[in-house]
Structure 1
Amino acid sequence: KAHELAERLGIDATQLRPSNGWLQSFKKRNGIRSHTLHGEGGAVEADEVRDARLELQELVAQFTPENVFNFDETALFYRLAPNRTLATTIRKGKKKEKQCLTLAFCCNATGSDTLDPIVIGTAKNPRCFRKGAAIKGKPILYKSSTNAWMTSVIFDEWLHLFNMRMAAANRKVLLLVDNASCHKILRNLTHVTVHFLPPNMTSAVQPLDAGIIRSFKARYRKYFVRWCLDALEAKITRKLNVLEAVQFSIDAWAGVTPTTITNCW
């Protein structure tokens, strides 16, 4: 590549002796270093993050920790196997599973109140749900959308039910959400104060992004791998269905400890 660039720039390539050592010296002379590529969060200045945290702390201080909640969504590739394994030789790779669900979580700052997750898929009536499926005696909070994404309608329905639940318990609560376009307040809320987090800062100020969802996914993967091993031993060839993925999700979410949640807050 160095010879190709030299030719384009009209430099005598015979006088050029590129090597790894030459490249390292060139980078050092010109202050060129390797940097990690970031998403939108990388464009936020440290001062802005600090100011946002201070503002958030002042707001949160007006409520007791039990009455401060965070709501956030995440994509779950529910059939995706781990990306590492133990083997004696390298084997040919296989196409990754891309079936995806969106899961929405909500919990308070003490971990004492973790709401059932919303599961969003593409199918309106998955076959595995047809017999009025329920998990551990509870109906499944399943919704559908074209891309299995959260929509303003789904969020509004959930927010209305959340407000009713807080009203029944006579609780005035604060709900922190990111500023995604689907997070719209379409009706009056009597017991819930919604605070939208600043753009591009959710990774720095949102508790669910600070390790709570990561803990959930680690637990989900454990359930999925165990299912795969059991299926292999039983010579079951079918793939994990949505109902089973929802079951694992509920169990994994229930396994996230209050200690983990409070540490992330």
Structure 2
Amino acid sequence: MPRKPRRILGARNFKNYSQDKLQQALEEIRSKSISLRNAAKKYQISKNTLWNKLHGKHERMPGKPRVFTEQEEESFAGHLIALSAFGFPVTGEDLKIIVKSYLNRQGRKVPSNIWNYNETNLVDDLGRSKVITRKGTKYPEKIRNSSKACTSLMICGNAEGRLAPVYVNYKSQKLWSTWTEDGPLNARYNRTSSGWFDFQVFEDWFINLMLPLLKRQEGRKILIGDNLSSHLNLEVIIQCELNNVRFIALPPNTTHLLQPLDVAYFRPMKGNWRHILNDWKNIVADDPIIKKVVGESFLGHLTQKRQEATASRICRKKKLQVAPGKGITVSDVQNPVATEPVDYSQPSTSGIQNISIPEELSDSSDSNKSLPLIKKPMQKTKRRKNRSDSSDDSIDSVTYAESDDSPFNPELSDDPSVELENIKRPAFSEKTKRVGDYVLVIYDRKYYPGEITKVLNNGAIINVMTPYGKQWKWPCHKDEIFYSDEEIVMAIKEPERRGHRYVFDVPELNNLA
């Protein structure tokens, strides 16, 4: 703003009179020595201004309301001038930090009471992407199915960094129970025919999910969001007045600049969503999108990305083997040695003490004191998705057997799969190998329950269950691979369902343990 602003011709005249002049005009009007109209002409003051001052309206200063008092503003200005005179001028960013620290000490603004909410929509359409095709192709296409299904999410967080539970709204006429399983913690679910938030869904989100959090906080609470009139209704306004909650609407067409959730939260979240959706469509190209399966993968992928971002990076130190009196060469720096060299030629038994291996699992037939290697299971035609191949050079992937006279000390863990340590394997009968039978199989020295889906000469194709805490559950995608007759242990009864979350118990595994 220039030092001497020039008034534009025809612009509105703001306050161009002194306070003494205004008081003199009001005294003459109160004494009835002059009328209000004549006082306005005499003192060049607006008639509406005189009328408002007489009736006690608009007592505040003109313009934007002050945040600080007049004494506080004068104190800030005096300190800024003093710092500049001492040779330490303050920048605008420094002034913001000073004012923020002053407000924190006064307790006039609490970051935990300032909330920002915003809704977003997730669809199963990946949109456009760049592909490599023949030169001159006018309309390149990549055939990939999509639907009109969409899911709306309401995210809300405060300036302190705390996030409220997620509110999920599906596009459907009914809400299926499977859509509410394995979701975010304390999430709330709803559905509408359009998939978007209307005033009823917004009222349910505010009263049942957001209001209990706001009631635990003291003082005035602020909710900053988009200026959508369809969100607010009479019940929400009444609850805001009763609980000292205020809504602040952002200006139109400014959410991409002023909405923190759009930039800092929704952008990486939707990037991970497209990544999960792309993998899903590449694996299952003909099946429709299943909300439960994609939702579990989406949450798992976000958790993995969060762990990668917050994990501490360990810097391994190296030392140089340099003889006394000898200089350091380039080869010494390029080929350092570890601070604690490990001899990988000698087997390590620190993690497998007091463990005996059954004879049928051992590769050695003699009973000497050496530690023979145990053979790895043979490669299958198709590997399970949760099997991870490790390098042969890693010492963690090599298992050694000790002598038969070593004692055994079994300990139970939270993993429901049972280790094969000193457990006698039951015989498997060929007569019970039928499609639909439930059996126990061996993989990676553990027992897993499963169902036979196809019978072959030297084995069967079995759909195996996955551990779920201390129980079991069927995987989202069928984990069907071939198991030989040696890997099939015994026939079991159908797993018993527990609760309504599709988890099962296998009594035969408890008996083996």
Q: TM-score per shorter chain, which class?
A: 0.5 to 0.7
Structure 2 gap ranges (5+): 1-63, 68-95, 310-513
What is the correspondence of 1:21-36 to structure 2 with a 5 Å cutoff? none
Counterpart of 2:239 (choices 188, 211, 215) is 188
Q: Which residue of 1 aligns with 2:177?
A: 130
The one-letter amino acid paired with 2:225 is: V
Tell me how far apart the structure 2 counterparts of residues 253 and 114 of structure 1 sit (CA, whole Å): 15
Q: Which residue of 1 aligns with 2:165?
A: 116
Tell me how far apart the structure 1 counterparts of residues 217 and 164 of structure 2 sit (CA, whole Å): 14
Contact 1:63 1:174 in 2 (8 A): no
What is the correspondence of 1:1-265 to structure 2 with a 5 Å cutoff? 62-77=108-123, 79-81=124-126, 83-84=128-129, 87=132, 92-94=141-143, 97=146, 98-111=148-161, 113-126=162-175, 129-130=176-177, 133-135=180-182, 138=185, 140-160=187-207, 161-168=209-216, 170=218, 172-184=220-232, 185-189=236-240, 190=243, 192-231=245-284, 237-248=286-297, 250-251=299-300
Contact 2:280 2:294 in 1 (8 A): no
Tell me how far apart the structure 2 counterparts of residues 202 and 164 of structure 1 sit (CA, whole Å): 27
Report which stretch shifted further, 136-145 or 207-216.
136-145
Tell me how far apart the structure 1 counterparts of residues 133 and 260 of structure 2 sit (CA, whole Å): 41
Tell me how far apart the structure 1 counterparts of residues 305 and 259 of structure 2 sit (CA, whole Å): 17
Q: Deviations over 1:178-226 (max 9, x none)?
A: 1112221343231533212222322221111234211110111122223
DSSP 3-state at the match of 1:81: coil
Tell me how far apart the structure 1 counterparts of residues 256 and 184 of structure 2 sit (CA, whole Å): 35
Q: CA deviation at 1:82?
A: 5.6
DSSP 3-state at the match of 1:120: strand
Alpha-carbon spacing, 1:175–1:76, altered in 2? closer, same or farther (3 Å)? same
Tell me how far apart the structure 2 counterparts of residues 152 and 95 of structure 1 sit (CA, whole Å): 35
The one-letter amino acid paired with 1:216 is: M
Tell me how far apart the structure 1 counterparts of residues 303 and 214 of structure 2 sit (CA, whole Å): 21
Q: Percent identity?
A: 20
Alpha-carbon spacing, 1:95–1:252, altered in 2? closer, same or farther (3 Å)? closer
Alpha-carbon spacing, 1:137–1:88, altered in 2? closer, same or farther (3 Å)? closer
The one-letter amino acid paired with 2:210 is: F
Q: CA deviation at 1:229?
A: 3.8
DSSP 3-state at the match of 2:202: helix
Contact 1:166 1:172 in 2 (8 A): no
Tell me how far apart the structure 2 counterparts of residues 254 and 186 of structure 1 sit (CA, whole Å): 37
Contact 1:166 1:191 in 2 (8 A): no
Contact 1:212 1:256 in 2 (8 A): no
Q: CA deviation at 1:245?
A: 4.1
Tell me how far apart the structure 2 counterparts of residues 219 and 130 of structure 1 sit (CA, whole Å): 25
Contact 1:124 1:143 in 2 (8 A): no
Report which stretch shifted further, 134-143 or 187-196.
134-143
Structure (1 or 2) with the greater helix fraction: 1
Q: Which residue of 2 aligns with 1:43?
A: none
Structure 1 gap ranges (5+): 1-51, 261-265
Contact 2:224 2:249 in 1 (8 A): yes
TM-score when normalising by structure 2:
0.33
The number of residues matched between the two structures is: 195
Tell me how far apart the structure 2 counterparts of residues 248 and 115 of structure 1 sit (CA, whole Å): 22
Contact 1:107 1:115 in 2 (8 A): yes
* Bigger-Rg structure (1/2): 2
Greater relative contact order (CA < 8 Å, ≥ 6 in sequence): 1
Contact 1:134 1:140 in 2 (8 A): no
Alpha-carbon spacing, 1:84–1:206, altered in 2? closer, same or farther (3 Å)? same
